Chain A
């Protein structure tokens, strides 16, 4: 028996709106959870997702994706890959799983909100697949690192990170709570489906796969690109929502949602992808620099999609270009210096050859970031390891929760941008982080950074040991050390001898 073509029945199967007779529509779809912009339901009924799939197709395709991911893993887990793995790549994996695995469950909850409260039936239908997608992503990224826990306890952060108050986790949670957990379905789909999932997730899940393949980690490369194939589909929830917003006089609101969400996730992804690509991955396995991947995926592909939808390039795009040259280099310095506070072993990885590569990819690196590492290198060469650990506490941005920093060199430009609000002073790393606060101060004003918690008495007394315990270090696993046991300074020793 011949089946009907999908297009012959798709609209009937999908369009499940009806007119409620017993209660007003607003009680079923409260504006705070559904659409706070007051766009008429008939307008939402024009929502037509560009990437269509039926449930029958979905199940078949997802089964195929999962069989592939799990069978590649099963086959390669018999290899000796993890036996003599470079700790730089191990750090990429630990950072990735800790930052991403349980966040997928939050993404699942967010999709579930769209399934229930999306104002359009097509949106609810597509989000059902999105919700199942995110469940799959969480399960993959919990299961894959699990077998590594017995080798190295730091892999346990895949499951544990989200349950701790580690400073890096606080940063991720603040952003994810903001864009996923505490938004209505419409604002959320613009922020998550469009601003996040058509943009930066590509770097984490596709860009990084290039380096994974070069490392020979085909299990990981295969898994993350499989995940992103789901994202490429359910991310398409965002564009029809943005077009309906624009057509109904809500362009300004849509633009703000895109601009807020992109910047929030950028500040985090520069750490979870930028540092691995330019520092943790062994030099000979690097394919492109983080900056080159950013140009491919964001400056070219993402921005083009923003403009094609009728929105504008975010107002801070010049600041982003500057941040691409600086943010992750600053944080590599910071995280390495504060290595006991993280759950991976960040390699300094700035030996003579690496510095040559960094200078080529980021002209001026030696005269700026290089001067910071000169001091550290000199201390390590002269047996003063203790001097490579900082003694003062950084100032943390009250938006992204990341230490405030800037390009070193002759004139060190680090400064906090401040804001007084209801008698409290807030510090921000950049103009966009401060701007985001001003878009909705009530949403953000009560949050305390890790450093605020040291002064507020929440961590009492705020000794180093207490702070580390508070952050889960020594509880879930030991904290970080230099991933290469400082072997990257050996090149300078050889140079000096010559």
Chain B
């Protein structure tokens, strides 16, 4: 389609319900992926966070950003969607694509 969409063809990342967890994810995910540029879209009720190809979100970083402990399964309460694929472990979530276009 348009050039803007083409430039984002390998975009991955979480879509969160707007709120304190979303704000903390925005902060933590940038810290966890220092070499990545993130695009943050504020859609009033939800926040879309995207970057190229792959990114991880770690429990420890997120807990720090939030100011209280949070487990990875608890992120689900606010994780309303995501772009790309997901991999979940006890301590992190990874968003990625297998094929780069």
Chain A positions within 8 Å of B, measured between CB atoms, are 5-7, 50-54, 57, 60-61, 64-65, 68, 202, 205-206, 209-210, 212-214, 221-222, 225-226, 228-229, 231-233, 236, 239, 287-288, 295-296, 299-301, 304-305, 307-308, 321
Decide: B45 and A307 in contact? CB cutoff 8 A: no
- How far is it, in angstroms, between the C-alpha of A7 and the C-alpha of B89 when the chains are bound? 7
| 7 tightest A-B CB contacts, nearest first | A209-B45, A213-B45, A57-B73, A213-B44, A221-B45, A228-B80, A210-B43
B35 within 8 A of A: no
Are A229 and B79 also in contact (CB < 8 A) when A299-B1, A300-B8, A307-B101 are? yes
* Contact partner, B76, options A5, A6, A229, Cβ 8 Å: A229
Interface residues of B in 69-92 (CB under 8 A from A): 71, 73-74, 76-90
Check B89 against A206 for contact (C-beta < 8 Å): no
Q: Name the residue of chain B whose CB is nearest to the CB of A230.
A: B76
In the assembled complex, the CB of B3 is this many whole angstroms from the nearest CB of chain A, namely 13
**Cα distance, A229 to B18, chains bound together (Å):** 13
Any A CB within 8 A of the CB of B68: no
Is the CB–CB distance between B76 and A68 below 8 Å?
no
Chain A residue with Cβ nearest B10? A304
Judge whether B61 is part of the interface by a CB distance below 8 angstroms: no
The answer to whether A6 touches B85, judged by C-beta atoms less than 8 angstroms apart, is: no
A57, B76: Cα distance in complex, Å: 10
Q: Specify which of B5, B46, B73, B82 is in contact with A61 (CB 8 Å cutoff).
A: B73
Identity of the chain B residue whose Cβ is nearest the Cβ of A58 in the assembled complex = B73
B97 at the interface (CB under 8 A from A): yes
A300-B9, A308-B98 given; name 8 further pairs at CB < 8 Å: A5-B90, A7-B90, A50-B88, A209-B45, A212-B45, A226-B17, A295-B5, A300-B83
For the complex formed, measure the closest distance between the CB of B55 and the CB atoms of chain A, giving whole angstroms: 15
Instruction: Check B15 against A304 for contact (C-beta < 8 Å).
Output: no
> Chain A residues with Cβ under 8 A from B11's Cβ?
300, 304
Contact B76 A300 (CB under 8 A): no
Return chain B residues, CB-CB under 8 Å to A228. 80-81
Contact B98 A233 (CB under 8 A): no
Closest to B91 in A: A5
Q: How many A-B residue pairs have CB under 8 A?
A: 102
Given contacts A209-B46, A221-B45, A308-B98, whether A64 and B77 have CB atoms under 8 Å apart is yes
Instruction: Please state if B76 and A305 are interface contacts (CB–CB under 8 Å).
Output: no
State which of B10, B46, B71, B85 has its C-beta within 8 Å of the C-beta of A225: B46
Q: A64: which B residues are within 8 A, CB to CB?
A: 74, 77
Cβ contacts under 8 Å, A233 to chain B: 76
Q: Is the CB of B44 within 8 A of A229?
A: no
Given the known inter-chain contacts A53-B73, A210-B45, please indicate yes or no for A307 contacting B99, CB distance below 8 A.
yes
Pick the contact of B77 from A209, A229, A296 — CB < 8 Å? A229
Query: Roughly how many angstroms separate A248 CA and B15 CA in the complex, as a whole number?
Result: 33
- B interface residues, Cβ below 8 angstroms from A: 1, 5, 8-11, 15, 17-18, 43-46, 48, 71, 73-74, 76-90, 97-99, 101
CB distance from A210 to the nearest CB of B (A): 5
Alpha-carbon separation in the docked complex, A213 to B101 (Å): 35
Distance A50 CA – B46 CA, assembled complex (angstroms): 23
**Interchain CB contact under 8 A, B45 and A50:** no
Q: B88: shortest Cβ distance to chain A, in Å?
A: 5
A306 → chain B closest CB, angstroms: 11
Instruction: Select B74's contact among A7, A61, A214, A232, beta carbons within 8 Å.
Output: A61
A214 near B44: Cβ-Cβ < 8 Å: yes
Q: Is the CB of B8 within 8 A of A68?
A: no
**Which residues does chain B contribute within 8 Å of A7, judged by CB atoms?**
89-90
| Interchain CB contact (< 8 A) of B84 among A5, A213, A221, A304 | A304
Partner of B88, one of A52, A221, A239, A307: A52
Residue of A nearest to B42 (CB): A210
Residue of B nearest to A243 (CB): B98
In the complex, what residues of B have CB within 8 A of residue A68's CB? 77
CB-based contact B81/A232 at 8 Å: yes
Interface centre among A64, A65, A209, A212 (most CB of B within 10 A): A209
Q: Report Cα–Cα, A137/B79, bound state, in Å.
A: 16
CB atoms of A304 and B86 under 8 A apart: no
Q: Which of B11, B73, B84 has the largest count of A CB atoms less than 10 A from its CB? A: B73
Residues of B within 8 A of A214 (CB): 44
- A/B interface sample: 19 pairs, CB < 8 A: A50-B85, A51-B88, A54-B73, A61-B73, A61-B74, A61-B77, A209-B46, A210-B46, A213-B44, A214-B44, A225-B17, A228-B81, A229-B77, A233-B76, A295-B5, A299-B1, A299-B5, A300-B83, A304-B11
Q: Once bound together, how far apart are the Cα atoms of A307 and B99, in whole Å?
A: 8
What chain A residues lie within 8 Å of B99 (beta carbons)? 307-308
Q: If A52-B88, A206-B81 touch, does A304 touch B73 (CB 8 Å cutoff)?
A: no
Minimal beta-carbon separation of A484 from chain B (angstroms)? 24
A5 contact set on B, CB distance < 8 A: 90
Asked whether A225 lies within 8 Å of B98 as measured between CB atoms, the reply is no
| Contact partners of A300 in chain B: CB under 8 A | 5, 8-9, 11, 83
List chain A residues, Cβ under 8 A from B77.
Answer: 61, 64-65, 68, 226, 229
List the B side residues contacting A236 at CB < 8 Å. Answer: 86
